[in-house]
Amino acid sequence: MAGSVNHQYHILAPDILPFMGSMSALTATSGGVLAMHGMAGGKYVLLAGFLGLIYTMYSWWSKVVQEAHQGHHTPVVQLHLRYGMITFIASEVMFFVGWFWAFFDFALFPSALSEVVGGQFPPKAIEAVMNPFDLPLLNTMILLCSGTTVTWAHHSLIHGDRDGLKKGLWATILLGILFSAIQAYEYSHAPFDFGGNTYSSAFYMATGFHGFHVLVGTIFLIVCLKRAYNGDFTPKQHFGFEAAAWYWHFVDVVWLFLFVAIYIWGSWGVPYH
C-alpha cells in the first residue's frame, strides 16, 4: 500500500534546527575570537551565539524525547542513537588527549622551552602547587562515589525499582554539585593564576574543561531526574538515561587520569601550597 512503513527506521521531517545550530556555533566562535582580541561587540556576539546554541539543544532534545513517546525509537533507532553517543564520547576523549599531550610535552621536554619555563617543569615561576592529597583527593573520592550511585540508579531502573532510580539520581546530582563547589573553592585559593606560564595554563585548561563537563553532566542527570518523576523510562527503553550514565562514567575516568597525571605526577618535587 502506498505510504505504508515497512522498515524500523525513523525518517525525520525537514527541520531548521540543524541550520540554526550551525549558525549559532559559527556566531559563538566568531564572537569568541572578537572578544579575545578586544574588539567592540565581541562579547555580545559570543553571548548571542551561546544563547542560540542553548535554544537549539533544548529544542532538538525536546523533539527527541517526543519521538520516544510517539514510539519512533525502535530497536534500530536506539542502536544508532547509541552509536552516536559512543562517537560523541570518543570525540570528547580526543579533546582531552590534546590537553594531556600539551601537559606531557611541557613536562618531559622543558629544555625545548627554556626561555619560557627556565629549563624545568613546573617552571621557576611556580613556587608552590596544590596538595594532591588534600581537596583533589577528596574530589576523587566524591566522583568515584558518584559513579557507584549512578550505577545504582541504572540497575534500579533495569529491575523496575523507580524509587531506587530517583534516589540514585538524587545522590549522583548532589555529589556532582559538591564536586563543582569544592573545585571552585580550590581555584579561589590556588597559589598561581591562569596564564603566565605553561604549567598554570595547562593545569587550568585541563581541569577547568573537566569541571565544565561535570556541570554539563549534572544538568544531564537533572533532566533525567525530571523525566523519572514524569514517569519516563522503562526497563527496556531508557536511552536518555543510559546516555547520561555513559557520559558521567566518562567524566569519572577522565578525572582519574587528571588526578594522577597533573595533580600527583605534575607537581612532583615542588612544595605544596
Residue pLDDT, tens place only, 213-244: 999 999 999 999 999 999 889 888 888 999 99
Q: How far apart are CA 244 and CA 157, in angstroms?
A: 13
Q: Which of 2-6, 103-107, 177-181, 192-196 has the lowest mean pLDDT?
A: 2-6
Range list for CATH 1.10.287.70 in the chain? 1-72
CATH 1.20.120.80 for domain 74-267, yes or no, is yes
Q: How confident is the model at residue 114 (pLDDT cuts 50, 70, 90)?
A: low
Cα dihedral 220, 225, 231, 235 in deg (nearest 10):
70
Q: How far apart are CA 131 and CA 140, in angstroms?
A: 13
Q: Left if phi > 0, otherwise alpha if psi is -120 to 50, otherwise beta: which for 80?
A: alpha
Q: How confident is the model at residue 112 (pLDDT cuts 50, 70, 90)?
A: low
Which one is predicted more confidently, 162 or 118? 162
From 1.10.1060.10, 1.10.10.10, 1.10.287.70, 3.30.1360.120, which CATH number describes the 1-72 domain? 1.10.287.70
Range list for CATH 1.20.120.80 in the chain? 74-267
Q: Is 106 within 8 Å of 113 (Cβ atoms)?
A: yes
Q: For the full predicted model, state whether its pTM sits above 0.85.
A: yes
Q: Is the pLDDT of residue 117 over 60?
A: no
pLDDT digits (tens, 9 = 90+) for 80-101: 999 999 999 999 999 999 989 8
Average pLDDT over every residue of 15-23: 94
Angle of helix 17-36 versus helix 42-69 axis, rounded to 10: 150
pLDDT digits (tens, 9 = 90+) for 32-57: 999 988 888 889 999 999 999 999 99
Which one is predicted more confidently, 162 or 109? 162
Q: Is 47 within 8 Å of 29 (Cβ atoms)?
A: no
3-state secondary structure the chain: CCCCCCCCCCCCCCCCHHHHHHHHHHHHHHHHHHHHCCCCCHHHHHHHHHHHHHHHHHHHHHHHHHHHHCCCCCHHHHHHHHHHHHHHHHHHHHHHHHHHHHHHHHHHCHHHHHHHHCCCCCCCCCCCECCCCCHHHHHHHHHHHHHHHHHHHHHHHHCCCHHHHHHHHHHHHHHHHHHHHHHHHHHHCCCCCCCCCHHHHHHHHHHHHHHHHHHHHHHHHHHHHHHHHCCCCECCECHHHHHHHHHHHHHHHHHHHHHHHHHHHHHCCCCEC
Q: Is the pLDDT of residue 65 over 60?
A: yes
pLDDT digits (tens, 9 = 90+) for 190-211: 888 877 777 888 889 899 999 9
Query: Which residues are CB-contacts of 270 (< 8 A; sequence separation ≥ 6)?
Result: 122, 126, 128, 129
pLDDT digits (tens, 9 = 90+) for 127-184: 778 888 999 999 999 999 999 999 999 999 999 999 999 999 999 999 999 999 999 9
pLDDT of the residue at 168: 96
